[in-house]
């Protein structure tokens, strides 16, 4: 019985959680602010007030974190946002990067 518990404990201690990824939205001079807010609401599930705050952070700085997710979800959200922007004719840059 003690051996089973020891093996269970050893297995649990070796498991690593997946590294989180940040989805970054970058500033540009061409994408309308309203569109960035809409992306943050529709794709990233932000409330309107939070989306406006993040959009202003992007506008005033170089980028902002739209969210932190597991790798696959982060990549999917970044692709979805970029695809929607291209469809609308905007050069919005959105990428997923591994959190340090």
pLDDT of residue 52: 98
What are the structural domains of the chain?
17-98 (3.30.1390.10)
Evaluate whether 46 touches 91 at the Cβ level (below 8 Å): no
**Angle (CA) 48 54 59, round 5°:** 125
pLDDT of residue 20: 96
pLDDT of residue 6: 60
pLDDT of residue 5: 64
Q: Residue 40's CB: how many other CB atoms inside 10 A? A: 25
pLDDT of residue 53: 98
Evaluate whether 84 touches 37 at the Cβ level (below 8 Å): no
How much is the pTM?
A: 0.83
């Amino acid at each position: 019985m003690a051996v089973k518990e020891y093996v269970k404990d050893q297995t649990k201690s070796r498991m690593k959680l997946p590294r989180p990824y940040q989805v970054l939205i970058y500033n540009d001079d061409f994408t309308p602010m309203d569109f960035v807010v809409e992306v943050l609401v529709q794709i990233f599930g932000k409330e309107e007030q939070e989306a406006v705050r993040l959009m202003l952070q992007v506008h005033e700085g170089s980028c902002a974190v739209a969210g932190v997710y597991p790798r696959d979800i982060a990549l999917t959200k970044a692709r979805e946002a970029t695809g929607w922007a291209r469809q609308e004719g905007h050069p919005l840059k959105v990428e997923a990067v591994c959190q340090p």
